[in-house]
Amino acid sequence: MVWVAMALGRPVARLLLYPICLYFLAFSTRARSASSQYLSRVLGRKAGLADSFRHYHTFASILLDRVFLLNDQFSRFDVRIHGAKIIDELVTAGEGYVLLGAHFGSFEIVRSGGRARGLRVSMVMYEENARKVGAVLEAINPDLQTEIIALGRVDSILKVEAALARGEVVGMLADRTLKGGGTVSCRFLGEQARFPTGPLRIAIMLKRPIALMFGLYQGGNRYEIHIERFAAPKQSGSRERAPIIEQLLQRYAERLEYYCRLAPYNWFNFYDFWR
Query: For 136-155, how does the pLDDT look when each residue is reduced to its tens digit (9 = 90+)?
Result: 767 777 766 557 787 777 78
pLDDT of residue 37 exceeding 90, the answer is yes
pLDDT for the residue numbered 137: 66
* Closest by Cα among 67, 119, 61 to 89: 119
Predicted local distance difference test score (pLDDT) of residue 239:
63
- Cβ atoms within 10 Å, residue 25: 19
State the pLDDT at residue 214.
96
Can you give the pLDDT at residue 17?
97
Report, as an integer, the average pLDDT of 211-234: 92
- Estimate to the nearest angstrom the gap between the alpha carbon of 41 and the chain centroid: 21
Instruction: Tell me the per-residue pLDDT of 113-123, one tens digit each, with 9 for 90 and over.
Output: 888 888 788 88
Domain ranges of the chain: 78-266
Note whether 217 and 223 are within 8 A (CB): yes
Most confident of 47-56, 88-97, 168-177, 241-250: 47-56
Residues 32, 64: Cα–Cα separation, whole Å: 20
pLDDT class of 156 with cuts at 50, 70, 90: confident
**Full-model pTM:** 0.91
Mean residue pLDDT across the chain: 88
Q: What is the reported pLDDT for 127?
A: 65
- The full DSSP string for 121-143 is EEEEEEHHHHHHHHHHHHHH-GG
124 within 8 A of 151, measured Cβ to Cβ: yes
Higher pLDDT, 205 or 128: 205
Residue in 174, 197, 192 with CA at minimum distance from that of residue 243: 197
- Which helix (H) or strand (E) segment holds residue 177: the answer is none
89 versus 236: the higher-pLDDT residue is 89
- CA angle, 249 then 259 then 85, to 5°: 90
249, 186 contact by CB (below 8 A): yes
Alpha helices in the chain, H assignment, sequence order: 2-8, 10-27, 29-43, 49-70, 84-93, 107-116, 127-140, 156-165, 198-205, 238-262
d(CA 65, CA 60): 9
* pLDDT tens profile 90-113: 778 778 889 999 999 999 899 888
